[in-house]
Amino acid sequence: MRLFNNILLGCTVGHLGATGGLPASEKAVRSPHWRTSRPWHPYRHRCDTGSTFILALWLIAALTALALSLAYGSNIGRQHAANMAARAQVRQTELAALRYVVRGLTDTDGLLPTDTQMPCCAMQVGDCAFWVIRADDEGDGKQHYGLLDESGHIDLSTAPLEVLERLPDITSEIAAAIVDWRDADETTTEGGAESDFYLRQPIPYNASNSPFESTEELRMVAGVTDAILWGEDTNRNGMLDAWENDGDTSAPSDDGDGILDRGLAGWTSGFVRWPTQQSNSEDSTINVNTSPRSRIEQTLLRYVEPSRAIEITDQIATHRPMSSIFQLYYTASLTKDEFESLEPVLVFTTQANRFRLNLNAAPAAVIACLPGLTDSDAQALLAARLALGGSGQSLSWALDVIDKDRLIEATGAGVVGRGYQYSADIVCVTANGRAFSRAKYVIDARNTTPRVVWRQDLTARGWPLDPTILDRLRSGEELETVLADDQQAAGL
């Protein structure tokens, strides 16, 4: 623009200074006031042409800039539309995966579907794929797939104080505060906290005085911080990632010991609920500690020989109250077949809100929370269960694995072989890797038709699987090839 102004200024000065050298004839035809008019110059037409050319150049530049701006805006709009379409794709894939999970939990009667019955690794849905991932409860450092049985974790709503105190990295004060948070009274347990403590906080609130509604509710309990609740598992995938094992190199800091600290959330659950016992049907459970001898014997006759029914009934009558089916196994010298037949029928307490742990789904760290067990006992029990390639509903695999007295004490706290609440950590991605989503669902399968009771969006926590999956998809590799390689890596 400055060059353009200088040229115009030069042309004007040239006109004003050109008064000599003109033919007389031309001077004669000029106005008498020609000195006050625009002077004539033989090169004036050249300046006019140059000015027009420069103006044209500026106009072309302006139009070019406008065209580039419109093209850039159009490209941004196109990318935005593609991103929105990809987000819609993964959302619909997430819903499809949820329906797949809910269908797999229909009529399971507390039995977790196997990997064969409900595959959950690299499942393709149109131009998208999904995974259902779960934490590394076995501690082998591998990525695991499938549903997580919530009843395999310590139930925050019913676990007794002595069980809570055995959780990894928990203090007796936090354990007492958990009990105070859920109980119906305002009497403070030693070291615990009731509403009078919470009402003195900067943002006051009352103790719940009711069962936990989620595991995240622990964050409201006195003494529980984010570090205590989540440990080093910043993306909450139950796996030790590189940034969770590098000391202070990246936030948050960790101990870099090669072992994932999963926090209290890794071993507890606020979602566990149990079905109401039906006592008016022929196949209903029977309480061996309170039922008449005659009814116990009649029930046993449906499962064992008459002579054995009498013998077992005699042992029950002599030694009750009994704490568990394991005590009956050793007291009445049951066979393994008798144990498996009677296990779903006999109960040993009528307390509705009693503590129960699904031993078929519990990791070693949770098994070790049962009274009387050592860490080596928990590892031995887990190894015995995994040696069967998983578990069914029966707990017969735990028989004779550890000392019988410790087993009776531990199982007397309340163990079962089935559960009814499952969490599904669903990860979805588009074929080109443009968008992915991750959401955790909790599904209650107590009734014939399972229902979703909780959802949490975890997409902001980042991609939880092998990062090369996303890299390969974004580089243009075929979705089918990437999924096949991932399934092969998982041993499927």
Q: Label residue 229 by pLDDT band (50, 70, 90).
A: very high
| Alpha-carbon span 463 to 476, nearest angstrom | 18
| Residue environment code for 241-272, b if the CB has 16+ CB neighbours within 10 A, otherwise e | beebbeeeeeeeebeeeeebbbbbbbbbbbbb
Which pLDDT score, from 0 to 100, does residue 4 have? 40
Residue 16 has pLDDT above 50, yes or no: no
Residues 6+ apart with CB under 8 A from 362: 152, 153
Residue 313 lies in a domain: yes
User: Would you state the pLDDT for residue 105?
Assistant: 93
Q: 476: number of CA atoms within 13 Å, CB side?
A: 0
Inside any domain, residue 305: yes
| Secondary structure class of 416 (helix, strand, coil) | strand
User: How confident is the model at residue 154, as a pLDDT?
Assistant: 97
pTM of full prediction above 0.85: no
**Cα 229 from chain centre:** 14
- Helix, strand, coil % over all residues of the chain, rounded to 5: 45, 10, 45
- Band of residue 347 on the pLDDT scale cut at 50, 70, 90: confident
- 122 lies in some domain: no
Residue range(s) defining the domain that contains residue 302: 286-347
Q: Has residue 29 been placed in a domain?
A: no
The alpha helices in 18-157, defined as continuous H runs, are 24-28, 44-104
Q: How far is CA 36 from the centre of its chain?
A: 87
Provide mean pLDDT across the span 182-200: 95
The reported pLDDT for the residue numbered 352 is 64
The answer to the question of residue 103 being in a domain is no
490 located within any domain: no
Is 341 within a domain? yes
Lowest average pLDDT, out of 154-163, 204-213, 228-237, 431-440, goes to 228-237
Rounded average pLDDT over 215-229: 95
User: 139 in a domain, yes or no?
Assistant: no
Q: 106 by DSSP, 3-state: which?
A: coil
State the Cα–Cα distance between residues 454 and 300, nearest whole angstrom.
40
Q: How many domains does the chain have?
A: 1
Q: Quick check: 22 pLDDT over 90? A: no
